[in-house]
Amino acid sequence: MQGTALTRRRATALAAAGLALLACNARAQTAWPHKPIRLVVPFAAGGTTTILARLLADRLGQGLGQPMVVDNRAGAGGNVGMDHVAKSEADGYTLLMGPIGMAINPALYAKMPFDPLTDLTPIGLYAGVPNLLVVNPSVPAQNLAELIAHAKANPGKLHYASNGNGTSSHLAAEMLKSAAGVDIVHVPYKGGAPAMQDLIGGQVAMLFDQMPAVLPQVQGGRVRALGVSSARRSAAAPQVPAIAETLPGFDMTVWFGILAPRGTPADIVTRVNAEMQRVLQDTAFQQQLAGMGVTPMGGSADAFASYLRRETERWAKVVRDSGARID
């Protein structure tokens, strides 16, 4: 009997050891990432955010050893897609292509479905890009001064498109409206692609949108560029004046960063950030961005978190001064 009990205890111990070994092997085999990663773009397909997301996703996917799939989830000035990520499982398989709207929307919307500063984990800044102010060729203005004069002569008759309520496209036009003292009418769209389509078709007169999406339309003669929103001219389109040359102090550079749901493991955040820095320091990738008027940014996750807090404070004042509000 004693020998039988001893045998049973040994068998139990061996079984437990075997199960522990299997568990260790299972964990090793499922080390992150072991399946495709979703990169959520909170706007419709076809705009700058999608263009830049796909460029980065291809390179990051190669470095991480798993495909990175771009998932467009548009609505409410980016809030729908951002909220989706904020409420997703914090396992590293759902990331966000975070736009500048993260810093703008808390001041612009009366009620937010999530808190960008606490419900998301910053991973790294990606890039900065100016908006271009473009008009339909039928608009009788060859420069910004003429556009302002035309708008003042026709109050309430000039319609401007935006990529959606609360987007940088919307706020840039509101900044122009305030700085120039003109009465122009907002027509929001669900993304840059449909807004550009109606601008080209003449349904609206003007649009602010990021340079990578707009520049090909300018170069093709389908729309006319009147100004760039950054403080200085862009090397990608040096012939286009900065809006600040006509309206001193006007400055709006759009930025993008990568974030994850709150609680995402620190080792995953560190790994993605490291891969981002590798991609952003690649000369060929930098040249590809420069050709579109985009400047790579980079930096640590902590630096991005600090930057996001500063931008949120800055844009709260800009929104307040512009009078823009979405209920």
Count of other CB atoms within 10 angstroms of residue 244:
19
Specify the residue for token string 């085999």. 29
Rounded-to-integer distance, Cα 257 and Cα 148, Å: 34
Specify the residue for token string 């900044």. 175
DSSP code, position 204 = S
Per-residue model confidence (pLDDT) at position 15? 55
String of DSSP letters for 127-161: EEEEEEEEE-TTSS-SSHHHHHHHHHHSTTTEEEE
For 165-204, b where at least 16 C-beta lie within 10 A, e where not — what string?
bbbbbbbbbbbbbebbebebeebbbebbbbbbebbbeeeb
Rounded-to-integer distance, Cα 149 and Cα 243, Å: 15
Look at 321 and 207; give whichever has higher pLDDT: 207
The mean pLDDT value for 10-37 works out to 63
Within 135-245, residue ranges assigned H as helices are 144-153, 168-180, 192-201, 211-219
Look at 29 and 48; give whichever has higher pLDDT: 48
Per-residue model confidence (pLDDT) at position 311? 94
Residue 17 has pLDDT above 70, yes or no: no
Residue 327 has pLDDT above 80, yes or no: no
Per-residue model confidence (pLDDT) at position 27? 43
Residue 22 has pLDDT above 70, yes or no: no
Per-residue model confidence (pLDDT) at position 24? 47
pLDDT tens sequence across 77-107: 889 999 999 999 999 999 999 999 999 999 9
What kind and span of H or E run contains 256?
strand 253-261
What does the mean pLDDT of the chain come to? 90
pLDDT tens sequence across 144-167: 999 999 999 999 999 999 988 778
The mean pLDDT value for 118-141 works out to 97
Per-residue model confidence (pLDDT) at position 10? 62
Look at 110 and 30; give whichever has higher pLDDT: 110
- Banded model confidence at residue 28, pLDDT cuts 50, 70, 90: very low
CB-based contacts of 8, cutoff 8 Å, min separation 6: none
Residue 117 CA to its chain's centroid (Å): 15
pLDDT exceeding 90 applies to what percent of the chain? 73
The mean pLDDT value for 132-137 works out to 98
pLDDT tens sequence across 153-206: 999 999 999 988 778 888 899 899 999 999 999 999 888 889 999 999 999 999
pLDDT tens sequence across 216-254: 999 999 999 999 999 999 989 999 999 999 999 999 889
pLDDT exceeding 70 applies to what percent of the chain? 91
Per-residue model confidence (pLDDT) at position 12? 59
All domains of the chain in start order, with CATH: 37-128+254-322 (3.40.190.150), 130-245 (3.40.190.10)
Q: Does pTM top 0.85 for this prediction?
A: no
Q: State whether residue 207 is helix, strand or coil.
A: strand
